[in-house]
């Protein structure tokens, strides 16, 4: 494993660690900044989607050459890693004080989801793996507060927190591909279900109308409620003592 030659893979703990040990890479006069690169990336992403985030577009937007970008970033992958963590800075508004832990968790999950849906370009870069950048860690801390506060031990609290994040990100991906806005798709889906072989797929044929109307919001809310209910039951049942 000569992985050391090129340094650790972007996004890994080793990479984040190595990153802060470096003496700030740039004391350049006023030339290109990493900040400026990330800003421009975000704009590209929000404007033209993930496909628009190319090194060429980025260089053009910044008025520099492609090669200059590699002075601040080793890889496109590294760029994406930094970008995604930055885009996770969403904890600006705090949940209602009078809610219990589950209410707060639900509130935060919805906020997170809406944020991602507002930035589909970012969401499509999210592989669900980025959990170690500063913004992600702040989210983990908050999540742990809720679950540990509710009575779970740290191990279960951590698993629960990750499971919740996994579900939120997964359902945003689900959303992105579904084109909810397109009412034609719902109509076609009904036609598709209806025309299946009723002996092989009886429930699809029978409930074609209902099935074609179930949207990603319904899926998200159903899953979110179930997850939190499940955790609540776990807490009541075991009191978190098992950890």
Partner DNA sequence: ACCTGAACACCGTTCAAGT
Binders in 181-220 for a second copy, by CB under 8 A: 184-185, 188-189, 191-192, 195-196, 200-204, 206-207, 210-211, 213-214, 218-220
- From 75, 80, 55, select the one nearest 65 (Cα to Cα): 55
Burial category of 80 from C-beta neighbours within 10 Å (exposed 0-12, middle 13-18, buried 19 and up): buried
CA distance 34 to 155: 36
Partner whose footprint covers residue 188, from DNA, a second copy, none (CB < 5 to 8 Å by kind):
a second copy
Partner whose footprint covers residue 57, from a second copy, DNA, none (CB < 5 to 8 Å by kind):
DNA
CA distance 147 to 105: 9
Closer to a second copy by Cβ: residue 112 or 167: 167
- From 27, 26, 146, 126, select the one nearest 86 (Cα to Cα): 126
Least distance from DNA to the Cβ atom of residue 22, Å: 14
CA distance 166 to 131: 11
CA distance 115 to 39: 17
Which residue stretch of 36-44, 72-80, 89-97, 143-151 sits at the interface with a second copy (rule: CB under 8 A)? 143-151
Give the total of residues touching a second copy (CB under 8 A).
73
Closer to a second copy by Cβ: residue 68 or 170: 170
Residue 129 interacting with a second copy (CB under 8 A): yes
Residue-level length of the chain: 243
Site residues for a second copy, 63-122, by CB under 8 A, read none
Partner whose footprint covers residue 117, from DNA, a second copy, none (CB < 5 to 8 Å by kind):
none
- From 58, 64, 60, 55, select the one nearest 31 (Cα to Cα): 64
DSSP 225: H
Residues that bind DNA (CB under 7 A): 28, 31-32, 53-57, 64-68, 70-71, 75-77
Which residue stretch of 40-48, 67-75, 115-123, 175-183 sits at the interface with a second copy (rule: CB under 8 A)? 175-183
């Amino acid at each position: 494993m000569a992985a050391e030659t090129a340094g650790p893979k972007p996004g890994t703990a080793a990479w984040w660690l190595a990153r802060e040990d470096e003496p700030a890479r740039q004391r350049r006069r006023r030339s290109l900044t990493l900040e400026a690169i990330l800003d421009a990336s975000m704009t590209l992403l929000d404007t033209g989607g993930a496909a628009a985030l190319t090194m060429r577009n980025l260089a053009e937007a910044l008025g520099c050459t492609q090669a200059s970008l590699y002075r601040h970033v080793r890889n496109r992958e590294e760029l994406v890693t930094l970008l995604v963590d930055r885009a996770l800075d969403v904890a600006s508004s705090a949940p209602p004080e009078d809610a219990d832990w589950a209410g707060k968790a639900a509130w935060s999950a919805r906020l997170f989801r809406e944020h991602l849906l507002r930035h589909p370009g970012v969401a499509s870069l999210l592989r669900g793996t980025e959990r170690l950048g500063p913004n992600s860690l702040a989210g983990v801390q908050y999540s742990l507060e809720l679950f540990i506060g509710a009575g779970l031990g740290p191990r279960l609290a951590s698993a629960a927190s990750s499971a919740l994040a996994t579900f939120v990100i997964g359902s945003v991906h689900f959303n992105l591909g579904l084109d909810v806005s397109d009412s034609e798709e719902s109509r076609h889906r009904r036609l598709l279900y209806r025309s299946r072989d009723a002996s092989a797929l009886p429930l699809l044929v029978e409930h074609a109308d209902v099935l074609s109307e179930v949207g990603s919001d319904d899926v998200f809310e159903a899953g979110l409620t179930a997850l939190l209910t499940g955790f609540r039951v776990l807490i009541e049942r075991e009191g978190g003592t098992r950890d």
